[in-house]
Amino acid sequence: DQQVKQNSPSLSVQEGRISILNCDYTNSMFDYFLWYKKYPAEGPTFLISISSIKDKNEDGRFTVFLNKSAKHLSLHIVPSQPGDSAVYFCAASNFNAGGTSYGKLTFGQGTILTVHP
Amino acid sequence: DAGVIQSPRHEVTEMGQEVTLRCKPISGHDYLFWYRQTMMRGLELLIYFNNNVPIDDSGMPEDRFSAKMPNASFSTLKIQPSEPRDSAVYFCASSLRGHGGGEGYTFGSGTRLTVV
């Protein structure tokens, strides 16, 4: 049962434009959400996160939006650059649950972003 | 710090052979995670440790998979016997205080396993 879903396997964007990556989740107990970026032959690297008490978090060109009622989050990259081309993973956790859920991140399948010059 | 170090980077083995993947977490991190990446399922959590103790191994696919963390600086993931469907990239990650309230994990570069 896939609790975190990224329904778009790939996205292609022109340099300078906005990239919007989407993620849906089913577990209403998730209270922390993260985005990771992965280049080929490397491990994923942490990009940005958001707590469920917020609906937006911004870090430079990257903004994450959370819509709890829709169980949906999105990552906006503005402006997109060729160096942003990578696989982007959405992840979620039940941070406040304690027990075996604490610290455990559930990841989506990933979206391949290609930014064309 | 050199980050999370995994070895080997690539492993090709024949079906039925034992495979051992190794991981050295970041010094001082108290959580260690083993993930497997496949095209179909993305990143799946196999098992994780807190202070060297296994906390949740519900993601371990079968009894053929086992993981140990004998000390704070070393962990192994073993597959015995290996099967072609085990072919994937295996990632180790470590963190301080779970995912640190939004700081995230630090991943290693992964081991690409191919079972023929």
Q: Minimal Cα distance from A32: which residue of B?
A: B102
List pLDDT tens digits, range B92-113: 999 887 665 566 789 999 999 9
A107/B42 Cβ within 8 A:
yes
Question: pLDDT value at position A22?
Answer: 98
pLDDT band at B84 (very low <50, low <70, confident <90, very high): very high
Contact status, residue A21 vs residue A113, Cβ threshold 8 Å: yes
Higher pLDDT, B81 or B98: B81
Residue among B27, B78, B25, B65 nearest B49 (CA): B25
Question: pLDDT value at position B97?
Answer: 74
Q: Match 């982007």 to its residue by tokens.
A: A88
Read off the tokens for A34.
């993260």
Tell me the shortest Cα–Cα distance from A46 to chain B, in angstroms. Answer: 6
B90–chain A Cβ distance below 8 A for any pair = no
Instruction: Tell me the average pLDDT of chain B.
Output: 92
Which residues of chain B does A106 touch, with a Cβ-Cβ cutoff of 8 Å?
45
Question: pLDDT value at position A90?
Answer: 95
Specify the range with the lowest mean pLDDT, choosing from A49-58, B18-27, B35-44, B73-82.
B35-44
* Residue B35 φ/ψ, nearest 5 degrees: -120, 155
Question: pLDDT value at position A26?
Answer: 96
B105/A46 Cβ within 8 A:
yes
A89–chain B Cβ distance below 8 A for any pair = yes
Q: Minimal Cα distance from B6: which residue of A?
A: A43
Q: b/e for A43-76, b at 16 or more Cβ within 10 A?
A: bbebbbbbebeeeebeeeebbbbbeeeebebbbb
A25–chain B Cβ distance below 8 A for any pair = no
What percent of chain B clears pLDDT 90, i.e. is strictly above it?
A: 78
B50/A104 Cβ within 8 A:
no
| B32 vs B73: CA distance, rounded Å | 10
Residues of chain A with pLDDT under 50: none
- Point out which residues pair with A69 in neighbouring strands: none
In sequence order, what are the residues at sequence separation of 6 or more whose Cβ sits closer than 8 angstroms to the Cβ of residue A98?
Answer: none
When pLDDT is averaged across residues B17-45 and rounded to a whole number, the result is: 93
Question: pLDDT value at position B111?
Answer: 98
B98/A103 Cβ within 8 A:
yes
Which residues of chain B does A104 touch, with a Cβ-Cβ cutoff of 8 Å?
45, 48, 56, 98
Question: pLDDT value at position A95?
Answer: 72
A58 to each of A73, A114, B7, how far by Cα in Å?
13, 22, 36
Which residues of chain B does A91 touch, with a Cβ-Cβ cutoff of 8 Å?
43
When pLDDT is averaged across residues B70-97 and rounded to a whole number, the result is: 95
B91/A44 Cβ within 8 A:
yes
Residue among B91, B98, B88, B97 nearest B75 (CA): B91
